[in-house]
Amino acid sequence: MITFGQFKDVVTTSKLSAGGISEPSLDEKYIRHFNKWLTSGYHAEMEWMKRTRDDRLDIQKRFPWVKSILVLLDNYFSDPISAKNGIKISRYVMGQDYHSVLEEKMSSVLLGLKNIDGKINGKIYVDTGPFLEKAYAEQASLGWIGKSGMFIGTGIGSYCFIGMLLLSIDIQPSGVAINRCGSCMFCIDQCPAGAIIEPGLIDSNRCISYMTIEKKGNFSDAERARLDKWVYGCDVCQEVCPWNRKWSKLTPDSRYMDRKNQIQKYIELGNTGNIDKFTMVFKNTAIERLKFKRMQRNMNTALQ
């Protein structure tokens, strides 16, 4: 059996920011919260959330062999772009596609565990599986889900990616972290779209990140008024968080920010009709999945 110490050594070698162990089952509070979010219609057009509801609430429906979940965090923080035209873009897409970068690091973790115990079966997921990743990260004692709905990693802040490594072996869970938001209301009070309905409950219909990334079709007049020059994502709730101001440090992995200059130039040029330029700048980034037409829609709205 792999000990907690061996697991920690493997995570440290991988150069990931943090790692913890959760059991596969979710505490009832997460189940109630997700059901409330869905029944309130706060998932907006994301119908796949409804279709995968049962899998998200019971991971062993789809993966009956899973006995432990290794949750991994990686810091992506960098300074924001400062485009002359005021257009804004989220920090998490300033570099290479985080899916591939994080998967590469997690693959080294799985290999390290297999070197200790060759019988281990494991499966890697980065933002692609039917899981409540933030709930598992909290259950793995890596931090807590803030009032903004963002996961705040202890000693890291919320500028971190979450990866899940499903494992076929039992490892002692890390325990559940304490929520340290206290009476702070900065994220709720300063959300430019008023999307935080109550602590931890986000209405995607109003959320700028949802509108600029997931929403199909044209914006209504009310939606255009809420976008506040963001063209991909929104970092306001993270920027005002006192824990981020205390803990955020520049990511040691330059791959998470190596496209910043190219992206800033693209944003400042405002060349919304050039699909070749979009393809060249955003190839192998998370923005590539947005596709040209949605970026063109977002840029045209921001430039109005």
Q: Which residues are the active-site residues?
A: 127
Q: CB of 272 within 8 A of CB of 183?
A: no
- The Cα–Cα gap between 203 and 207 comes to 6
Helix, coil or strand: residue 254: helix
Q: CB of 165 within 8 A of CB of 74?
A: no
Token code pair at residue 257: 């920010």
Q: What is the DSSP letter of 158?
A: S
Which pairing describes strands 68-75 and 160-167: parallel, antiparallel, or unpaired?
Answer: antiparallel
Q: CB of 130 within 8 A of CB of 58?
A: no
Alpha-carbon distances of 186 from 7, 12, 199, 243, rounded to whole Å: 36, 33, 11, 11
Q: CB of 294 within 8 A of CB of 301?
A: no
- The Cα–Cα gap between 218 and 268 comes to 23
- The Cα–Cα gap between 265 and 282 comes to 12
Considering only CA atoms, which of 203, 205, 168 is closest in space to residue 188?
A: 203
Considering only CA atoms, which of 26, 97, 33, 90 is closest in space to residue 61?
A: 26
Token code pair at residue 53: 């509801």
